[in-house]
Amino acid sequence: MLNNASILITGGTGSFGNTFVPMTLAKYNPKRLVIYSRDEMKQWDMAQKFSGDPRVSFIIGDVRDKDRLARALDGIDYVVHAAATKIVPTAEYNPFECVKTNINGAMNLIDACIDRGVKRVVALSTDKASNPINLYGATKLASDKLFVAGNAYAGTHDTRFSVVRYGNVMGSRGSVIPFFMSLANTGVLPITDSRMTRFMITLEQGVELVWHAFDDMQGGEIYVKKIPSMTILDIAKAVAPDAENKIIGIRPGEKIHEQMIGLEDAPNTFAYKEHFKILPMIHNWSSDPSRINDGVKVPDGFTYSSENNDEWMSADALREWIDAHRHKVGAI
């Protein structure tokens, strides 16, 4: 599907983009892969990695700027929407800026993609959009709803929108693993709450979920990857087994456990071998055979939360992963 296609990724200089770009270039050989983001230094750094590849180009722009999006989307077939204000405390203390990027930016992108005739759009979401307690999660829930409804909003246009949702990305910049690694030599790791659990997904798995969404989507689906959970204490043990754990309390807007599928979504959720699919409640799309395919409806009362997961990652398994990927943990 992505072979010889023109692809644009918003927020493409982030952790996801730095993994999506080389993997997609290698697997699909797209005609163009455009990185759209607002940080010129990150673009400069990333451009050095692909300086000899004519397929990769960069455009400075913000998803808040609808006119700039319209220009950047000229001739684009597929879009991955990765741009977001996503640090939970930052969003709590800068709420209007978070809304401008995560909600207004989503609206701008939906409009621009429809007007430019983009074929398919996959937006990245987060566990925090399921029953949100913080502003970041609330804005991403609103964004998810906008992208789902965008399929009806498109009218007679052929643009289709779907969403992928996953939890803590292992080793990504600003996440808990590189944070703990930076403090390992101090002998003390700050633990917000000893009961805390988190979903664990690699960037490569996140990219593969986006590829699957592009291939499978009819429009309006939310794809949720089946991934293992870990306790925060096991994460700390994997990074620095001899360090002292100091309880410091939960940060503003932080959850003890992550949730990706809530109780209210269960009636419209179907299970597959490696993922779940939440179908839209609007327009009877949740009963559409072309969207369900071979999915099995989850039981009543189902939730997918990091504390009730069937699959768990051990501290030893995470330590092996860190040893194999130490060169890039926290670097992208």
Whichever domain contains 205, its CATH number is: 3.40.50.720
Alpha-carbon torsion (289, 293, 296, 302), positive or negative: negative
Q: Among this protein's residues, is 128 annotated catalytic? A: yes
β-pair partners for 129: none
The encoded tokens of residue 2 equal 């992505």
Residue 186 lies in a domain: no
Residue 91 lies in a domain: yes
pLDDT in tens, 223-274: 999 999 999 999 999 999 999 999 999 877 788 999 999 999 999 999 999 9
- The number of folded domains in the chain is 1
- Residue 200's identity, in one-letter code, is M
Residue 159 lies in a domain: yes
Residue 250 lies in a domain: no
Task: Report the alpha-carbon distance of residue 279 to residue 286 in Å, rounded.
Answer: 5
Single out the residue of 137, 108, 143 nearest to residue 123, CA to CA.
143
3-state class of 212 per DSSP?
helix
pLDDT in tens, 56-94: 999 999 999 999 999 999 999 999 999 999 888 899 999
pLDDT in tens, 141-199: 999 999 999 999 999 999 999 999 988 888 887 788 999 999 999 999 999 999 999 99
β-pair partners for 80: 9, 122
Residue 192 lies in a domain: no
Residue 331 lies in a domain: no
β-pair partners for 57: 34
Task: Report the alpha-carbon distance of residue 200 to residue 279 in Å, rounded.
Answer: 24
Residue 44 lies in a domain: yes
For 110, the domain range is 6-167+201-226+259-303
Residue 312 lies in a domain: no
β-pair partners for 198: 230
Q: Are 40 and 60 in contact (CB under 8 A)?
A: yes
Q: Which of 31, 42, 119, 128 is catalytic?
A: 128
DSSP letter assigned to residue 266: G
